[in-house]
Structure 1
Amino acid sequence: MAGNKKIAKNYIFNTSYQLLAIIVPLVTTPYISRVLGAEGIGINSYTYSIVSYFVIFSILGTATYGNRQIGILQDDPVSRTQKFWDILTLRILTSGSALILYLCYALLFAKHKSIALLQTFYLLATLCDTAWFFQGMEDFRRIAVRNYAIKLLNVAGIFLLIHNPDDLWKYVLMFTGLNFVGNLSIIPYLRKYLVRVKGYKPQPFNDIIVVLQLFIPATALWLYEMFDKTMIGVITQSAAQNGYYEQSNKIIKMALILVTALNTVLLPKSSKAFAEGKLGEMKEYLYQSYRFVWFLGVPLMCGVIGTESVLVPVFFGKGYEPVITVLCIMSLLFIPISLNSTSSAQFFISTGRQNIYTRCVLIGGGVNILLNALLIPHFQANGAGIASVTGETVIMACMLWYMGKNGHIKVSEVFRISPKYLIAGGVMLLCLLFAARYLPLRVWSLAALIIGGAAIYFAVLLVEKEYFVVTGIHHAVYFAKKRRAKK
């Protein structure tokens, strides 16, 4: 019971931590879309896609590896301190190298030089990022509080300082600079967990093979998104098409965090359970997480499709009509990405099967890039969306095939639990599509659709006596009775 409470608490903290990193742009999107326009959004998207290649190299595989190793060593102060300095030293070396290379690119070759230089702060933020350590220690509160403060400043700054397309540089500086400041702000709290280890010299290259094994799939996954944006820009020569894709991607990424945040919480737990030989406990985490994917992934997918005709005009304003089709296509990403995130974090990475994970991701990445080249010339941003959905589905098939073939899970169990959620999601979708036809394009209409859709979905699940809903009601009744007894 105590373990479940801690998981729930850390899930809430981690969800808010991840969500705030994306929700701020979404909160300000109706304003920013109108002020900067599709052209400005596209320039930001393109320059960010370029700096992201360098950020990937600077991170290497240290974030995931650090989370896993600190989770395993969290009860050993000396070992976790040594491992922290090993990983941080490697991060400083890779980030410093990436920073020098990026500055050479920005100064000599960048198309939008001033904006590209402002994106440098993302690399500085990566250099001093220690969030992976706090995640491994299961201290998600620290990171969440940091983000609340920084992101609220971000929102205030946008409405106070961004007023016309010429303020694009302020917009970019706001996000990159505050990201850097946010990472600096949690460094002092490391003292709570680190101890003095006399005579120890960091050994950053001790586990470089494992780090690189994690780097390759992480890179491929990130490159999906970055290649999409870069190839849209290169093939279509249209910043507006990049803007359409970027806005669709923002909505999908924000919603996905609600599902995938649980994996960051359970990665150190699954790693520790595997290291201690508690395979039954690890498998239980895995199956419950798959159930959670269907529980939240289906309504998010159906909800986006059902509300997009109202959501896009309300959020983005005039000129963003093409986003509706792109968003409909990309909503199909919810299930495969969420299942892939669960399989990778709680099985492949936790059990040290990075090589298999890498192969699955590279196969899907190859499919994604090939389809981008074939589809973007004909369908532009829509083609990039189709390529991403297909690539993620291929990864999902490869991962589940390996796990099922080797007897680690029963693949049928992963899908056997889905009908309840698909039925509830289908009912919700039909109701949303019907209601959206008659509602005006207003904020209150969007709010009504979201609240009404959620109510319909959970009502159907209650009729079906779904596990999470029934368990949640039982817990609520139990705590209510407990409070009354205390009074």
Structure 2
Amino acid sequence: MKKTTSDILYNGLYQVVILILPFMTQPYLYRVMHEEAMGINVLINSIPSLLSVVILFGMNQFGVRTMAQAKREDRAQTFGRLWTVQLVVGMTVIALYTLSVIFFLDYKFYYLLEIPYLLGFTIDISWCFVGLGDIKKVILRNTLIKLLIVSSVFLLIHSPKDLWIYLLINSVTYLANIIFWIDLPHLLGRMPKARDYSWVKHYFVQALIITLPTIATQLYISFDQQLVGRLSNVIQLNYYAYPQSLARAVIAVAGSVSSVLMPKMAKMLSDRDDGHQGVVKLLKTSLDYTLVLATYLCVAFMINADKFTHWFWATKGSTMGWNMFWGSLIIIFVSYGGVFANQYTLSRGLFKIYSIPYYAGAFISVTLNVLLIPHFGSLGATFVIVFTEGTVLFLRIFLVRNELPLRQVVVGEWTTVISGLATLIVGLIVPVNTGSLFVDLVIQTVMLTLVFLVGLKVTGNRVMRDLLARVTHH
């Protein structure tokens, strides 16, 4: 349990780091590269982002779960078989991507700069370390990559003409994934031999079952950016994509517990006959804490949306502010639903229940985006993503109604919802205008934090009780 807590802490700290880094780089990039270059950057990145998910081929879910359940003496062989699938898929994707760029796509030079990025994901075996509980090395690697990107941005990017350098920086740094291979013998007990790297159809099929819904997810969190850029323009793409990128970074913080607890739950289910009761208890705790954190972050984004977009991106008008205001709702929808998906359904191997919401989300997103973006631009896309993620959350809960004692796992969560609504109302009706956008943001954030904490205390929220008990104990 001590190691689990330590892993959660390490992962949480890393997610805070990756949340802070965009706050350091995006204002600078937006000012030196300007809106058009930044929009092209989003357009170029959206396709490799989708393909990186294909290359990982479910290893962040199926690979983690399989390694977590593998016997010590079988680890090297299990790893070899899993990575063989990833390697074959990765090289196939890279070949098809290169041919498609050469023959079909605009911005050919920019797209070709993304090939090292795809190679980086082909050699990414962080899922093996996560599955075997070595979270710390994964976090250190990820932090190194992020810091390299940030330092390179300030050193090398100075004008819109440097867009190709920025794309190359983001691409090449992912080759740092090779460092995982250095410590692989220590993790597995021995270095996998040539015979361990064999094709296992069962692994491919199981990974494919998980990958297909993950690809469907990318249709509404990456491919939607292609639709906005092509059905509208790159300026509208800016207004949609950058508030979304911050919301997704926040979601990573709110959902950071899942990546640690999913392998723990999988092992718990395989080790004990009464493992399901332990999983339900752990799930309840994760849901409570995730909802509190996600609600606070969502409300903070909504209250600060208009002033933040003017201060952070130096935008004119209110379009980006409205996109950030309404788009912030996905912080709750994705974080809370992710607990059901990434912790519960995957740990139990309920791949069908895991998959259905993603397929529904992809269908809804593509259909509505094609209909709304030509008429409403970025605001139409924001409406679609909020509606899509809300539907996905509903399906996540609905589909496990016969697997889980739902009343038991959601009891008491009304306290978080009431506290969040009260904070939002107070934040919107109490004016803060000091003449400085930054000072206004600080005051609003302090105010909403105090109101939210008081709301949790007054309603008797379980998370607040736990925190107060720990403070009192120490």
Give RMSD over aligned pairs.
2.1
2:215 to 215, 219, 239: 219
1:179 to 174, 194, 206: 174
- State the SS of the aligned residue for 1:380: helix
1:166 to 154, 161, 166: 161
Instruction: Give the TM-score normalised by structure 2.
Output: 0.93
- What whole-Å deviation, never above 9, does each CA across 1:260-299 have from its counterpart, x for those lacking one? 1111111101111122331101111111122123211211
Paired position in structure 1 for 2:416: 421
After superposition, residues 87-106 of structure 1 pair within 5 angstroms as 87-106=82-101
Instruction: Give the TM-score normalised by structure 1.
Output: 0.91
Does residue 24 of structure 2 align to residue 27 of structure 1?
Answer: yes
- What whole-Å deviation, never above 9, does each CA across 1:113-154 have from its counterpart, x for those lacking one? 222111222201101111111111222211222233332232
Evaluate the alpha carbon distance shift between residue 319 and residue 118 of structure 1 in structure 2; reply closer, same or farther with a 3 A threshold. farther
Of residues 50-59 and 408-417 in structure 1, the stretch that sits farther from structure 2 once superposed is: 408-417
Gaps of 5+ in 2: none
Does residue 304 of structure 2 align to residue 307 of structure 1?
Answer: yes
Does residue 126 of structure 2 align to residue 131 of structure 1?
Answer: yes
Q: Equivalents in 2 of 1:355, 1:409: separation in Å? A: 16
Evaluate the alpha carbon distance shift between residue 318 and residue 346 of structure 1 in structure 2; reply closer, same or farther with a 3 A threshold. closer
Sequence identity percentage:
24
Does residue 280 of structure 2 align to residue 283 of structure 1?
Answer: yes
- What whole-Å deviation, never above 9, does each CA across 1:290-338 have from its counterpart, x for those lacking one? 2123211211121111011221111101347421111112111122212
> Retained in 2: the 8 A contact 1:420–1:464?
yes
Evaluate the alpha carbon distance shift between residue 153 and residue 199 of structure 1 in structure 2; reply closer, same or farther with a 3 A threshold. closer
Equivalent AA in structure 2 for residue 386 of structure 1: F
Equivalent AA in structure 2 for residue 220 of structure 1: A
Q: Equivalents in 2 of 1:82, 1:131: separation in Å? A: 17
Shift of 1:381: 1.2
Paired position in structure 2 for 1:209: 205
Shift of 1:475: 2.2
Gaps of 5+ in 1: 481-487
Paired position in structure 1 for 2:243: 248
- What whole-Å deviation, never above 9, does each CA across 1:206-241 have from its counterpart, x for those lacking one? 3111111101111111221122111112211x1111
Of residues 318-327 and 83-92 in structure 1, the stretch that sits farther from structure 2 once superposed is: 318-327
Paired position in structure 2 for 1:331: 328
> Retained in 2: the 8 A contact 1:92–1:127?
yes
Q: Equivalents in 1 of 2:203, 2:141: separation in Å? A: 30
Paired position in structure 2 for 1:377: 374
> Retained in 2: the 8 A contact 1:72–1:275?
yes
1:469 to 456, 464, 469: 464
Paired position in structure 2 for 1:402: 399
Equivalent AA in structure 1 for residue 368 of structure 2: L
Of residues 226-235 and 201-210 in structure 1, the stretch that sits farther from structure 2 once superposed is: 201-210
Paired position in structure 2 for 1:443: 438
- State the SS of the aligned residue for 1:193: helix
Evaluate the alpha carbon distance shift between residue 147 and residue 202 of structure 1 in structure 2; reply closer, same or farther with a 3 A threshold. closer
> Retained in 1: the 8 A contact 2:67–2:75?
yes
Paired position in structure 2 for 1:340: 337
- What whole-Å deviation, never above 9, does each CA across 1:52-97 have from its counterpart, x for those lacking one? 3332321221221111111222xx3221221111111211111111
Paired position in structure 2 for 1:485: none
> Retained in 1: the 8 A contact 2:85–2:203?
no
Q: Equivalents in 1 of 2:20, 2:218: separation in Å? A: 19
Q: Equivalents in 2 of 1:375, 1:347: separation in Å? A: 34
> Retained in 2: the 8 A contact 1:85–1:202?
yes
Equivalent AA in structure 2 for residue 397 of structure 1: F
Shift of 1:356: 2.4
2:291 to 290, 294, 304: 294
Q: Equivalents in 1 of 2:32, 2:317: separation in Å? A: 13
Paired position in structure 1 for 2:105: 110
> Retained in 2: the 8 A contact 1:224–1:365?
yes
Aligned residues: 470
Of residues 119-128 and 443-452 in structure 1, the stretch that sits farther from structure 2 once superposed is: 443-452
- State the SS of the aligned residue for 2:400: helix
